[in-house]
């Protein structure tokens, strides 16, 4: 692993923590460095504290670690909250002119910069965070010109004066440190490369995937951490002929999306926690009316309002089993930010090909984490669209009954019926959440009921056979130790492998993006001596599913503190799990 640098800025909500962090992350990305960001909304003492953390390296970074090298502290609490992660070599940038007396442990390097007054010199106190960024550049030996580029990007829209003032603020911060401190002993030398990277988070990748997949209609109701999907689409989807509606609630959102989908558009809604509960009734309607719809759940800590700004993977059971009665659905869960993009596209294809609701299950950690990638990771030329059995004027006849009525729910061998969208001559038909016959009309006939239930279930069998429900694999494929995971834990696991390798422990990691239908892992589990399932929830919902599938007990690593797994922490947890007895 190449030397990586861990930087953070923390203060009160409203201090511009997020945008400052983002600017620095962008500067690093422009410099061809890899970046992985994370956000803290700690709730340990009292509301308000927030931090933006950046891990950066010339190599790919895909996890958080327990180390902070440089901290911009706008409040004492920022220092206190991060004490565990600070080390003897850490540098802390703070503003000694402010009313609080910074208490900084002796071993660390205190860098007192008059952030506010320098910012005022540059044109306004509001730029004090930018002064701090300039100071950070000086400490790390990072060329401030990359920061200029990021400032242009951030403030370009507000006029050149603002851009220039911000650049000046950064310069003043840089010069102040240069003139007042000799920090060579810290030994940072931030390497740059010629690589061009893009920097984005999981929700942006989902939004981008949706547009790439031809999604034109989005309806949603704001809820953390799903809202940024709606924010991304608003203002962009219009350029591609689409529209976003902020509905009055989630019931409305999913029903609007259903309406758009039934009339032939690719449509999506996204929500989290309580919103998914509200959508559940309509979810059943989507499934029985065989409407292609993508429903995204960006999971957060539940139940109820739970911990809205905290990570959890607690909705798997809801995605697999939610809703009354028995309805087929697909559950796809991206395991990384690039997969957020590609799996969203797949979700739209599955929805239309199989005429089912598709749950796209992401999580808070992925939604707020920004990461760098080469732009080719999102190559739009590789996007494939499959609209499934759409019938047009030419082939609608094949699907009419003797009376000339369109058989929208025709019983077929593969379980998939023809689909006519409004405007198709002779395709007019009714769809309903009631059990229905082939024409879509209500029925309580025993035969017809069984035929329709079987037909809908048969789609899953067809899909099982037609698609590759594969998993992603890392580590040593022949290792005796198998670790299985889903969702955003993948990055931390992949990095944990390096720590484990250093300790001489070989591990095979399987990261599963398809939760239903899902790959059959019985062979892999049979071949391993030990199997551990890693997930961010208390009860081990995925572990339960796997035990059910393979009829073998597995070990579990569960984290439900509200904070995502860190690579070093996971390596330790795996090491100690391996020596535990297998549960009886």
Tell me which residues in 278-307 interact with other proteins (CB under 8 A). Answer: 281-282, 284-285, 289
502 touches other proteins by CB under 8 A: no
Q: Which segment (113-121, 213-221, 305-313, 482-490) binds other proteins by CB under 8 A?
A: 213-221
Token digits of residue 370: 């920004």
395 touches other proteins by CB under 8 A: no
Token digits of residue 571: 């390596």
Q: Which segment (129-137, 256-264, 315-323, 506-514) binds other proteins by CB under 8 A?
A: 256-264
Distance CA 20, CA 394 (A): 57
User: E-assigned strands of 84-224?
Assistant: 86-94, 109-112, 198-201, 215-220
Please say which residue, 206 or 316, places its beta carbon nearer to other proteins.
Answer: 206
Element (H, E) at 510: strand 507-511
419 touches other proteins by CB under 8 A: no
**Beta sheet of 109-112, edge-to-edge order:** 109-112, 86-94, 68-73, 5-12, 49-57, 34-40, 370-373, 198-201
Distance CA 212, CA 197 (A): 20
Residue 193: which of 31, 1, 36 has the closest Cα?
31
Question: Considering the complex, what minimum distance in angstroms separates the CB of residue 248 from other proteins?
Answer: 4
Residues in contact with other proteins, shown as a per-residue x/- string from 331 to 360 under the rule CB under 8 A:
------------------------------
553 touches other proteins by CB under 8 A: no
Query: Which is it for strands 5-12 and 472-475: parallel, antiparallel or unpaired?
Result: unpaired
Token digits of residue 291: 């409407």
Residues in contact with other proteins, shown as a per-residue x/- string from 171 to 200 under the rule CB under 8 A:
-------------------------xxxxx
67 touches other proteins by CB under 8 A: no
145 touches other proteins by CB under 8 A: no
Residue 63: which of 485, 429, 469, 507 has the closest Cα?
485
Burial classification of residue 436, based on how many CB atoms lie within 10 Å of its CB (0-12 exposed, 13-18 middle, 19 or more buried): buried
Question: Considering the complex, what minimum distance in angstroms separates the CB of residue 274 from other proteins?
Answer: 16
**Among the listed residues 367, 424, 488, 531, the single contact to other proteins using CB under 8 A:** 424
List the interface residues with other proteins, window 363-392 (CB under 8 A). Answer: 375, 378, 380-381, 383-385, 387
List the interface residues with other proteins, window 428-487 (CB under 8 A). Answer: 428-434, 441-442
Question: Considering the complex, what minimum distance in angstroms separates the CB of residue 222 from other proteins?
Answer: 15
**Among the listed residues 99, 403, 576, 579, the single contact to other proteins using CB under 8 A:** 403
Distance CA 240, CA 331 (A): 27
Distance CA 138, CA 30 (A): 17
Token digits of residue 299: 């999971």
265 touches other proteins by CB under 8 A: yes
Distance CA 329, CA 332 (A): 10
List the interface residues with other proteins, window 18-47 (CB under 8 A). Answer: 29-30
Question: Considering the complex, what minimum distance in angstroms separates the CB of residue 293 from other proteins?
Answer: 10
């Amino acid at each position: 692993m190449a030397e990586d640098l861990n930087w953070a800025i923390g203060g009160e909500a409203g201090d511009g923590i997020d945008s400052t962090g983002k600017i620095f992350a962008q500067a690093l990305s422009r410099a061809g460095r890899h970046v992985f960001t994370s956000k803290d909304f700690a709730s340990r003492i009292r509301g308000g504290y927030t931090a933006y953390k950046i891990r950066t390296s010339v190599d790919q970074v895909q996890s958080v670690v327990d180390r902070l090298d440089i901290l911009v502290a706008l409040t004492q609490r920022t220092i206190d909250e991060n004490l565990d992660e600070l080390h003897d070599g850490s540098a802390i940038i703070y503003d000694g002119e402010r009313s609080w007396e910074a208490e900084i442990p002796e071993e660390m390097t205190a860098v007192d910069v008059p952030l506010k007054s320098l910012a005022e010199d540059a044109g306004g106190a509001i730029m004090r965070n930018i002064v701090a960024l300039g100071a950070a550049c000086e400490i790390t030996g990072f060329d401030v010109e990359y920061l200029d580029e990021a400032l242009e990007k951030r403030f370009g829209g507000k006029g050149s004066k603002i851009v220039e003032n911000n650049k000046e603020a950064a310069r003043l911060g840089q010069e102040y440190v240069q003139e007042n401190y000799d920090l060579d002993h810290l030994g940072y030398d931030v390497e740059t490369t010629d690589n061009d990277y893009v920097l984005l988070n999981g929700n942006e990748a989902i939004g981008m995937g949706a547009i790439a997949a031809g999604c034109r209609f989005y309806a949603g109701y704001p809820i953390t951490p799903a809202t940024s999907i709606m924010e991304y689409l608003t203002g962009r989807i219009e350029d591609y002929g689409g529209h976003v509606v902020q509905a009055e609630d989630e019931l409305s959102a999913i029903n609007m999306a259903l309406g758009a989908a039934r009339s032939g558009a690719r449509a999506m809604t996204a929500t989290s926690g309580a919103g998914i509960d509200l959508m559940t009734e309509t979810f059943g309607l989507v499934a029985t009316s065989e409407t292609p719809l993508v429903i995204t759940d960006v999971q957060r800590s539940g139940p109820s309002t739970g911990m809205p700004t905290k990570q959890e993977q607690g909705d798997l059971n809801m995605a697999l089993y939610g809703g009354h009665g028995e309805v087929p659905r697909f559950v796809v869960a991206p395991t990384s930010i690039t997969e957020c993009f590609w799996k969203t596209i797949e979700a739209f294809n599955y929805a239309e090909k199989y005429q089912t609701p598709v749950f796209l299950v992401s999580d808070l950690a992925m939604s707020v984490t920004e990461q760098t990638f080469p732009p080719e990771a999102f190559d739009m030329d590789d996007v494939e669209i499959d609209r499934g059995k759409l019938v047009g004027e030419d082939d609608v006849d094949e699907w009419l009954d003797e009376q000339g009525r369109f058989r929208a729910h025709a019983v077929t061998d593969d379980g998939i019926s023809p689909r006519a969208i409004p405007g198709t001559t002779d395709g007019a038909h009714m769809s309903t959440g009631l059990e229905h016959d082939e024409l879509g009309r209500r029925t309580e006939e025993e035969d017809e009921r069984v035929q329709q239930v079987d037909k809908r279930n048969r789609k899953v069998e067809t899909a099982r056979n037609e698609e590759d429900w594969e998993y992603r694999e890392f580590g040593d494929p022949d290792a005796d130790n198998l670790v299985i995971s889903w969702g955003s834990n993948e990055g931390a696991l992949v990095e944990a492998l390096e720590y484990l390798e250093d300790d001489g422990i070989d591990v095979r990691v399987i990261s599963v993006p398809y939760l239903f239908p899902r790959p059959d892992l019985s062979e892999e589990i049979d071949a391993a001596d030990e199997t551990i399932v890693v997930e961010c929830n208390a009860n081990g919902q995925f572990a339960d599913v796997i035990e059910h599938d393979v009829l073998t007990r597995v070990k579990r690593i569960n984290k439900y503190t509200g904070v995502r797994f860190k690579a070093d922490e996971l390596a330790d947890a795996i090491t100690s799990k391996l020596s535990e007895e297998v549960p009886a």
